[in-house]
Structure 1
């Protein structure tokens, strides 16, 4: 079987119009993002002593920035279904860094992310400020991660994580890993929490490779960002919220993970076999 992670896309060179677009969009993104970050941090100075781990105000700023980012980059954007009203978490398929904007534009959430994201240019400082939970991809840290998730869930944070454990080429859903699901079955949380599967679909620009927005293998963040910003006519992003399910409807983490994977894979119109 061919290893999809080794496959490559043939992309045309960026034309002068693309370079101009990349510059204009990049400037607009920076102004909106870091201007709002300053407001965010000032508001957090008041929010934190009053509400502790709860953040009733600042997630609205994060959502505003992400909605503006989607518009600035020129995407068509569609949301189907509704974010759940119940306490709990969200699981979604993972395409790449664009998920940060696409999913946060649709709902006020906190991401669970691998720890190296904290060091990314631009994205890292935003992730830290907005309450992203960073984890290491080590089996020995599983118990610690579960405890961290449990603390955040008890504080009312709506966590979103990617059970595939890696970004993809946008046309497949990889098998879900189960360790993080264990946090939902700890100390009675299964009786009060719900989990909502969400499918993120990236439709490529007209005539482009269906994997155009995918981010995998050794692709660099900077080059991928430049390519997206330089695209004159973007494709569209579709975010599908599926009905939430109570955790205690499942016997264990493996059953819950399998259900979420099945729902997300079945609703993904571009999905190819993993």
Structure 2
């Protein structure tokens, strides 16, 4: 019996010179507009809070345009003062500009990112809240997040604590919700899905082109992304919940994890069924 071997062609192969030329032009435009934005944030971000909030959104929109990322939306997002915290699954550094291009957000990230070349600098410009995983500093970290939430800042947390391979949602860390335990704070869960590369539905063999996890090298991963003609993503907004309605942060974490897992699994199935 002969077993037929199935090969999967990469959607990033055989790009034309025109594709590379267009990307280089877009990269030039991106740099030309980004440099003034960065200086504006550095000079006026703290003096003029409105600029400090919205200039990072413009920067993220430019980055989305550069990488030819299409974002579809499903459900309703609440950006009023009724909502304080937003969470989602996490599988790539692309999640940041996609989510950050929608409205002003303060992302929560581990403190070691603060010293990363370029990424750490950009994260600080984006008003990221850096937290340490040192237990002795847990109270200080909790207060830092709660202070931002109490001042009507829109805070964003990735409760998985790291990126996944995109084939599943990892278990949430209940410590992500320590600042919310027993508080009258509204949380809106979001599911982020990557469905197409260059018009081709993403399967588990293509997903590592988007997902950045484990010990993957950043430079070749970025190089592949820059070679894509288009990336299609979707943000699915789920029903909001109030933290005070849960007896503990573990129950809150489990509920949100189950909701996001359920919708993400369904979205993957629909993508593969096309």
Is 2:31 aligned against 1:39?
Answer: no
Provide the C-alpha distance between the structure 2 equivalents of 1:79 and 1:67, rounded to a whole number of angstroms: 15
RMSD: 2.4
- Secondary structure of the 1:106 match is coil
Equivalent position to 1:241, from 237, 242, 245: 237
**Structure 1 residues 216 and 223: alpha-carbon distance in aligned structure 2, compared to 1, 3 A threshold:** same
Equivalent position to 1:202, from 180, 194, 198: 194
Q: Answer whether contact 1:146 1:180 (CA < 8 A) is retained.
A: no
Equivalent position to 1:138, from 125, 134, 137: 134
Q: Answer whether contact 2:188 2:239 (CA < 8 A) is retained.
A: yes
**Structure 1 residues 25 and 221: alpha-carbon distance in aligned structure 2, compared to 1, 3 A threshold:** farther
Q: Answer whether contact 2:88 2:157 (CA < 8 A) is retained.
A: yes
Provide the C-alpha distance between the structure 2 equivalents of 1:57 and 1:207, rounded to a whole number of angstroms: 38
Spell out, residue by residue over 1:76-99, the C-alpha distance to the aligned partner (whole angstroms, 9 max, x if none).
Answer: 211223332214211111112111
Q: Answer whether contact 2:56 2:125 (CA < 8 A) is retained.
A: no
Q: Answer whether contact 2:84 2:155 (CA < 8 A) is retained.
A: yes
Counterpart of 1:100?
Answer: 96
Counterpart of 2:87?
Answer: 91
Q: Answer whether contact 2:106 2:155 (CA < 8 A) is retained.
A: yes
Any gaps of 5 or more consecutive residues in structure 1?
Answer: 1-8, 48-54
Spell out, residue by residue over 1:210-236, the C-alpha distance to the aligned partner (whole angstroms, 9 max, x if none).
Answer: 3320001111222222211111x2230
Of the structure 1 ranges 173-182 and 142-151, higher mean CA displacement relative to structure 2 is found in 142-151
Counterpart of 2:268?
Answer: 270
- Secondary structure of the 2:224 match is helix
Is 2:119 aligned against 1:118?
Answer: no
Provide the C-alpha distance between the structure 1 equivalents of 2:180 and 2:130, rounded to a whole number of angstroms: 18
Provide the C-alpha distance between the structure 2 equivalents of 1:124 and 1:142, rounded to a whole number of angstroms: 21
Provide the C-alpha distance between the structure 2 equivalents of 1:24 and 1:140, rounded to a whole number of angstroms: 49
TM-score (norm 2): 0.82
- Secondary structure of the 2:167 match is coil
Counterpart of 2:222?
Answer: 225
Equivalent position to 1:216, from 213, 218, 234: 213
Is 2:59 aligned against 1:65?
Answer: yes
**Structure 1 residues 20 and 122: alpha-carbon distance in aligned structure 2, compared to 1, 3 A threshold:** farther
Provide the C-alpha distance between the structure 2 equivalents of 1:76 and 1:112, rounded to a whole number of angstroms: 24
Cα deviation, residue 13, structure 1: 6.5
- Secondary structure of the 1:197 match is strand
Provide the C-alpha distance between the structure 2 equivalents of 1:28 and 1:218, rounded to a whole number of angstroms: 32
Cα deviation, residue 15, structure 1: 5.4
Aligned residues: 251
Cα deviation, residue 70, structure 1: 1.1
TM-score (norm 1): 0.82
Higher Rg: 2
Cα deviation, residue 138, structure 1: 3.3
Any gaps of 5 or more consecutive residues in structure 2?
Answer: 1-7, 270-274
- Secondary structure of the 1:236 match is strand
Equivalent position to 1:183, from 179, 182, 187: 179
Q: Answer whether contact 1:164 1:177 (CA < 8 A) is retained.
A: yes
Provide the C-alpha distance between the structure 1 equivalents of 2:29 and 2:227, rounded to a whole number of angstroms: 13
